[in-house]
Chain A
Amino acid sequence: GAVVSQHPSRVICKSGTSVKIECRSLDFQATTMFWYRQFPKKSLMLMATSNEGSKATYEQGVEKDKFLINHASLTLSTLTVTSAHPEDSSFYICSAAPTREEQYFGPGTRLTVL
């Protein structure tokens, strides 16, 4: 149980394009999903908290217009990196929380912007 999927697992795109990453909880409902970013050899940095049916809460320093988050249902949240640039290249990981204190991580999406 408690499986979270992310799609795509890897994406390469040109600078200026937008990329959408999906996060799904496969066997449970998650009122809250989290989006993290991880740079090479660094820890996870929380970008935003996504609550179903309401606007996401972004961490300080994260541009909400750059990283659009939509939590359309209890099993799906999407992160769209708009007008991607090479500095957006990173490993993006989502997690889904069936309760406030449990988090289950997706396998991550490696984004490379050329």
Chain B
Amino acid sequence: EDKVVQSPLSLVVHEGDTVTLNCSYEVTNFRSLLWYKQEKKAPTFLFMLTSSGIEKKSGRLSSILDKKELFSILNITATQTGDSAIYLCAVFTSGTYKYIFGTGTRLKVLA
């Protein structure tokens, strides 16, 4: 059965800290891995990763995929209170052409 697991489940840090969120997967027919940020409503897109070893960056956020070890990390540097959210990882599989979401990591950044 296809599975996506995120760790940690929750995390509390102080402003300015750097955090690393993990996403591991076991799926057949992997196509891409996506990271989303969810605040009070629906998830907003952060990154889509398809190739191993190529870092994607957007401001203080960056992400990388390791297709050999079947995981991805999302880094947030110099965290701010506005980074507090649930971060979701999803894997897109060909064959079924659907997204499988991980459990999510709840991040809280304290002022």
Contacts and interface: CB of A to CB of B under 8 A. Distances in A.
Most buried by B among A44, A104, A106, A108: A44
A103 B42 contact: no
Size category of the B interface is 20 to 34
B31 A101 contact: yes
Interface stretch (B13-21, B60-68, B73-81, B100-108): B100-108
Given A41-B106, A44-B88, A107 B42 contact: yes
B42 A108 contact: yes
Interface residues of A, number: 19
A34 B98 contact: yes
Q: For chain B, what secondary structure do more than half of its interface residues adopt (helix, strand, loop), or is it mixed?
A: strand
Interface string A44-64: 111001000000000000000
Contacts of A42: 103-104
Interface in A11-34: 32, 34
Interface in B15-55: 31-32, 36, 41-45, 48
A34 B99 contact: yes
Given A43-B104, A105-B43, 14 more contacts: A41-B106, A43-B103, A44-B101, A45-B101, A46-B98, A46-B99, A46-B101, A93-B42, A100-B97, A101-B31, A101-B32, A101-B48, A101-B92, A103-B99
Interface of B: 31-32, 36, 41-45, 48, 88, 90, 92, 97-104, 106
